Amino acid sequence: METIKSYLDNMFSGLPKTARVLDLKNNILFNMEEKYHELKRQGKSENEAIGIVISEFGNIEELVTELGINLDSQMNDQPVVTREEVETYLSVKKTMGKLIGFGVFLCILGAAMLILLSSLLEGINHISEAAADAPGIIILLVLVTIAVGIFIYSGMSFERYQYMEKGVQLPGNLEAELKQRYDQYNPVFYAHLIIGVCMAILSPISLFVTSIFGDRMEDYGVVILLILVACSVYLFISSGTVRESYSRLLKLGDYSEVEQKKNEDKVIGAVAAIVWPLAVVIFLISGFVYNLWHIGWIVFPITGILFGMFSAAYSIITGKNQ
55 and 118: one domain? no
Per-chain mean pLDDT for the chain: 75
Give the DSSP letter string of 28-64.
HHHHHHHHHHHHHHTT--HHHHHHHHHHTS--HHHHH
Are the C-beta atoms of 260 and 239 separated by less than 8 Å?
Answer: no
109 and 157: one domain? yes
Three-state secondary-structure class, residue 169: strand
Question: Is the pLDDT higher at 219 or at 38?
Answer: 38
Residue 322 parent element (H or E): none
Question: Is the pLDDT higher at 255 or at 24?
Answer: 24
199 and 173: one domain? yes
191 confidence band (pLDDT: 50, 70, 90): very high
Least confident of 6-10, 59-63, 153-157, 302-306: 59-63
What is the structure's pLDDT at 29?
82
279 and 168: one domain? yes
Are the C-beta atoms of 47 and 39 separated by less than 8 Å?
Answer: no
Domain ends where: 45, 77, 109?
Answer: 77
217 and 268: one domain? yes
64 and 118: one domain? no
320 confidence band (pLDDT: 50, 70, 90): very low
Q: Is residue 217's pLDDT more than 80?
A: no
64 and 148: one domain? no
For residues 145-167, average pLDDT: 84
Beta bridge partners of 161: none
Are the C-beta atoms of 61 and 72 separated by less than 8 Å?
Answer: no
What is the structure's pLDDT at 95?
92
68 confidence band (pLDDT: 50, 70, 90): low
Domain ends where: 22, 57, 77?
Answer: 77
What is the structure's pLDDT at 13?
65
What is the structure's pLDDT at 57?
67
49 and 109: one domain? no
276 and 148: one domain? yes
33 and 127: one domain? no
For residues 220-230, average pLDDT: 86
157 and 199: one domain? yes
- CA dist 246 to 3, 149, 183, Å? 26, 27, 10
What is the structure's pLDDT at 195?
92
- CA dist 157 to 96, 146, 151, 153, 245, Å? 8, 16, 10, 6, 15
Domain containing residue 148: 83-318
CA dihedral 153, 157, 158, 162 (to 10 degrees): 120
Domain ends where: 53, 77, 101?
Answer: 77
pTM score, whole prediction: 0.60
For residues 64-71, average pLDDT: 56
Quote the number of domains for the chain: 2
What is the structure's pLDDT at 56?
73
15 and 32: one domain? yes
